[in-house]
DNA sequence: GGCAATTAAATTGTGCGCAATTTAATTTTA
DNA sequence: TAAAATTAAATTGCGCACAATTTAATTGCC
């Protein structure tokens, strides 16, 4: 009996946006256990990454860097504050603005974070060159939707 | 005066995973207003996409396709049920299993969804070939983390 | 057949993510 | 300069996403 063509027309698997969504979820899950040893979630880690670069930083500027609004950042920053990784102070120049700065513990966490980054990099099954291509495509992908 | 090199060492912007996360969030936001006219959120739309392919389907199988567990799907399916897009029935073969099927309204929604897909495709600033490359890289990216 | 282990959904609890609103401070402008 | 408009955070409300637990049905094993 002739083998029947069972190629299922798989609409979902032709959706690039689903693949993006899945890739993002999957890698964030991979970060999970690594970051847990630092006491951070992935979004909290992203905030720390930004602060390790530049500090202090207003909530507004943090949001601009991470594409997150105060609705997300306010409770998240409260958690980082409770963990004694960051401090909040009202700006003297502009009393509306809240400046986020690192505590000593928060600054120290950066060292441990290198290990997380290298673990994740090791898990990515793409050469440096391919990975660069990927990030460039992601950039133009994102930019296309942001500038509409 | 010689222009100073102000190239900021931007750690965040060197993180492929952040770019992935940002791209995913951004495109889901782009879907938002389009899907709103169908009365769906993006995750709800994904469930419908799967059901438009194959139906009825157990919650477990839906979860396997979308990489979502019952903790996410149960309340989501209840919402789709409230909107009269899907129906739930306990399987007769296995009373533990709940089969999800489409209503007439749910099936009809598929036509409108073509417009959403073409709008999104139009927003993606990548040629077909580049887009194919991207999805293939995303596949190997995801697969690398899933099979660890 | 009967008990243990497994499986499928649902539920509970926590943490984003974002729209919309609120509050307070600052800037614009009439 | 006083009122209106804008801006920065916080808050509220809703919908995922996932870990962990619970409940009920099925399967495995003796």
Distance from C-alpha of A95 to C-alpha of A116, rounded to nearest angstrom: 37
Read off the pLDDT of residues B85-126 as tens digits, 9 standing for 90 and up: 999 999 999 999 999 999 999 999 999 999 999 999 999 989
Q: Residue A4 falls within a domain, yes or no?
A: no
Residue A27 and residue B145: Cβ atoms within 8 Å? Answer: yes
CATH assignment of the domain containing A130? 1.10.10.10
- What pLDDT sits at residue B2? 36
Domain that holds residue B132: 12-146
Q: Residue B4 falls within a domain, yes or no?
A: no
Does the CB of B37 have a partner CB in chain A at under 8 Å? no
Cβ-Cβ contacts under 8 Å, A120 against chain B: 17
At residue B14 the predicted structure's pLDDT band, cuts being 50, 70 and 90, is confident
Q: Residue A40 falls within a domain, yes or no?
A: yes
Q: Residue A78 falls within a domain, yes or no?
A: yes
Please give the average per-residue pLDDT across B12-31, as a whole number: 95
Read off the pLDDT of residues A8-40 as tens digits, 9 standing for 90 and up: 344 888 899 999 999 999 999 999 999 999 999
Does the CB of A136 have a partner CB in chain B at under 8 Å? no
Q: Residue B135 falls within a domain, yes or no?
A: yes
Residue B49 and residue A15: Cβ atoms within 8 Å? Answer: yes
**How many domains is chain A partitioned into structurally?**
1
- CB-facing half-sphere around the CA of B66: CA atoms within 13 A: 23
DSSP B12: G
The C1' atom of C16 and the CA atom of B104 lie apart, in whole Å, by 35
Q: Residue A1 falls within a domain, yes or no?
A: no
Cβ-Cβ contacts under 8 Å, B10 against chain A: 53
At residue B1 the predicted structure's pLDDT band, cuts being 50, 70 and 90, is very low
Search chain A and give the residue with CA nearest B147: A123
Closest-approach nucleotide to residue B80, Cα vs C1' = D15
For chain A, state the CA radius of gyration: 20
Q: Residue A89 falls within a domain, yes or no?
A: yes
């Amino acid at each position: 009996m002739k083998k029947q063509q069972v190629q299922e027309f798989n609409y979902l698997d032709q959706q690039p946006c689903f693949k993006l969504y899945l890739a993002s979820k999957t890698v964030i899950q991979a970060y999970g256990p690594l970051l847990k040893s630092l006491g951070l979630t992935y979004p909290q880690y992203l905030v720390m990454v930004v602060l390790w670069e530049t500090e202090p930083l207003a909530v507004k500027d943090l949001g601009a860097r991470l594409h997150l609004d105060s609705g997300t950042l306010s409770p998240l920053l409260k958690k980082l504050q409770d963990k004694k990784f960051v401090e909040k102070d009202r700006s003297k120049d502009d009393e509306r603005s809240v400046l986020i700065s690192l505590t000593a513990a928060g600054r120290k966490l950066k060292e441990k974070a290198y290990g997380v980054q290298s673990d994740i990099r090791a898990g990515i099954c793409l050469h440096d060159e391919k990975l660069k291509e990927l990030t460039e495509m992601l950039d133009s992908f994102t930019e296309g939707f942001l500038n509409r």
